[in-house]
Amino acid sequence: GRRFRQARGGQRGRGPRYADDTPAPGNEDARIWNDVSACLTEDWYVDGTEITVSVDGGEVTLAGVVENRAEKRLAEDCADRRARGD
C-alpha cells in the first residue's frame, strides 16, 4: 500500500547498531532483542543501521533516525510483532 510507496526498498541486510546494553544471552530479553534485530535486518524497507534496539523486562525501545514516517511505522510494527512472539 501507501506505506511501501513512501519507503525506500533494498534495505535488507542493513541491521541495527549494537547498544552497550545488549542483553546477555540466555534470557527472554536476549531472545526478544535477537528477534527484533533480525526482523529489522531482514526487512526490505527499513534501514536499521541508524536504529538502536534495547529490551528491558520484555519492553522494546527503538531509538535512532529513519528516512520517513512510513519507515518508522514499519520498524515499530516489526518490533511489536517480534516482542509478541509472532
pLDDT tens across the length of the chain (86 residues) = 445 544 555 555 555 555 555 556 568 888 899 899 999 988 888 888 889 999 998 899 999 999 999 999 999 999 998 877 76
The domain spans of the chain are 2-84
Tell me the three state secondary structure of residue 63. strand
Whole-number Å distance between alpha carbons of 63 and 35: 16
- pLDDT on residue 83: 78
pLDDT at res. 19: 53
For residue 34, the cross-strand partners are none
Q: Say if CB 48 and CB 40 are below 8 A apart.
A: yes
Give me the pLDDT at residue 17, please: 53
